[in-house]
Amino acid sequence: MKHFKRVVVVLILFAEVAGTIMAKTQVSQRSGGKLPDGSTVEIYTLKNEKIEVQVMNYGGYVLSIKVPDRSGKVADIVLGFDDPVQYYEINHGKGNPFFGPIVGRYANRIAHAQFTLDGKVYQTPKNDGENTLHSGPDGFHSQLWTGHVIPDGVELKYLSKDGETGFPGNLSVTVRYTLNGRDLKIDYSATTDKPTVLNLTNHSYFNLSGQGNGTILADELKLNASRFTPVDASLIPTGELKSVVGTPFDFLKPHAVGERINANDEQLRLGHNGYDHNFVIDGGGKELKESAEVYDPATGRVLTVLTTEPGVQFYTANFLDGSIKGKGGVAYPRNGGLCLETQHFPDSPNHPSFPTTVLNPGSEFHSTTIFRFSAR
């Protein structure tokens, strides 16, 4: 009997070890060809028994995320293109949707394309009317990063030189994508040799029914945010932190994205008849907190977002109009995806009351976001 028990214990331990081995993420690297400027693209595949993620060194784009639904059927749930050259071309054209890159130095908008730091005015590119959006056409999304394989993922590095896109300081940036079980974890780190401002995010568009498969209007969204930052006509925050209670911005309990998107609400109209607003995460900005959950009733897929950032930009792809053809040649319609961009607040350098985005020499910026995938 004792011998039998020992055998059972050994078998259980073997099963646990085998399960751990099976759960380990496999990381591979391959060439993605050359871009029109002669740069060589490298594509990294992170894969375990449930999830597969592809990332490339150009722009740090998340190219695909393949996850199962409630019945085990796997689909790619992020919008994008089949060919890396297409990302390059749209970065150098007009109407860039930012399908999944690392965005910086400053994600989101800067009013009038300028900010003041230590008494000096810095001018940034105007690519959104009079404002700067995602640091202009030469932001981090259009740069070639240096990548190498690390345990469970890939590490990307980039040196943004003093004065690049108008920002001060030589900024050394490291972004790590790692896949562990159901979690795609993004770790951002940076140091500078001059005072500067910094706001980094990933700009993936999610469609939990599968990219190119309709809209996200039926998805049920929960945001752990009691306040949001209202915007003016150019989508620049007014500086107010407004309660979501009694407004279409109240996602403290789950609501379908499309339930109130056409409501008679000035902020929705200013968002081009949809959501394109920063939400203030309750208790956010210090430790890892759950900020959002999206549930797709059709497939059962669930996306949970955790972050150390104080805000999350909820965007319902209001500028997509079917003119951009993505993977498989499928046209992406209005509301064909949603973004949950974990971040500091838009235009923070021009709003002293907002959480600061200033990074000084001798300090290290660090931020973590987790995209957690499941089904129910």
Cα torsion through 173, 311, 220, 80, rounded to 10: -30
- Taking the alpha carbons of 294, 335, 104, 230 in that order, is the dihedral positive or negative? negative
Q: Is residue 18 part of a domain?
A: no
Is 14's pLDDT higher than 50? Answer: no
Residue with tokens 């749930």: 77
> Looking at residue 173, what is its pLDDT?
98
Average pLDDT of span 353-373: 98
pLDDT digits (tens, 9 = 90+) for 162-209: 999 999 999 999 999 999 999 999 999 999 999 999 999 999 999 999
Is 38's pLDDT higher than 60? Answer: yes
Q: From CA 167, how far away is CA 123, in angstroms rounded?
A: 8
Write down the mean pLDDT value for the chain.
94
Is 211's pLDDT higher than 60? Answer: yes
Q: Is residue 303 part of a domain?
A: yes
Report the predicted TM-score, pTM, of the whole model to 2 decimal places.
Answer: 0.93
> Looking at residue 94, what is its pLDDT?
86
Q: Is residue 190 part of a domain?
A: yes
pLDDT digits (tens, 9 = 90+) for 293-317: 999 999 999 999 999 999 999 999 9
Q: Is residue 12 part of a domain?
A: no
Is 340's pLDDT higher than 80? Answer: yes
Q: Would you call 363 helix, strand, or coil by DSSP?
A: coil
> Looking at residue 310, what is its pLDDT?
98
pLDDT digits (tens, 9 = 90+) for 260-289: 999 999 999 999 999 999 999 999 998 999
Average pLDDT of span 338-356: 98
Residue 361 has which token pair?
A: 């020499």
Q: Is residue 17 part of a domain?
A: no
> Looking at residue 341, what is its pLDDT?
98
Residue 53 has which token pair?
A: 């993620």
pLDDT digits (tens, 9 = 90+) for 120-143: 999 999 999 999 999 999 999 999
Q: Would you call 371 helix, strand, or coil by DSSP?
A: strand
Q: Would you call 327 helix, strand, or coil by DSSP?
A: helix
CATH number at residue 246: 2.70.98.10
Q: Is residue 21 part of a domain?
A: no
pLDDT tier at 23 (50, 70, 90 boundaries)?
low
Is 221's pLDDT higher than 80? Answer: yes
pLDDT digits (tens, 9 = 90+) for 222-270: 999 999 999 999 999 999 999 999 999 999 999 999 999 999 999 999 9
Is 20's pLDDT higher than 60? Answer: no
Residues 6+ apart with CB under 8 A from 134: 98, 103, 106, 107, 108, 141, 203
Q: From CA 135, how far away is CA 141, in angstroms rounded?
A: 9
Q: Is residue 219 part of a domain?
A: yes
Nearest CA to 309 out of 340, 278, 288 is that of 288
For residues 19 and 48, is the Cβ–Cβ distance under 8 A?
no
Amino acid making up residue 35: L
Q: Which domain holds residue 132?
A: 29-375
DSSP state of 35: -
Q: From CA 88, how far away is CA 141, in angstroms rounded?
A: 9
Helix (H) or strand (E) holding 55: strand 52-56
How many independent structural domains does the chain possess? 1
pLDDT digits (tens, 9 = 90+) for 40-55: 999 999 999 999 999 9
Is 4's pLDDT higher than 60? Answer: no
> Looking at residue 109, what is its pLDDT?
98
User: Alpha carbon 301 to chain centroid distance?
Assistant: 18
pLDDT tier at 12 (50, 70, 90 boundaries)?
very low
Q: Which residues are catalytic?
A: 203, 341
Distances (CA, A) of 226 to 45, 187, 232, 244, 286: 37, 26, 20, 6, 17
Q: Is residue 23 part of a domain?
A: no
Is 332's pLDDT higher than 80? Answer: yes
User: In the chain, which residue ranges form alpha helices assigned H by DSSP?
Assistant: 2-23, 84-91, 266-270
Residue 232 has which token pair?
A: 């003016």
Cis peptide bond prior to 182, omega within 30° of 0? no
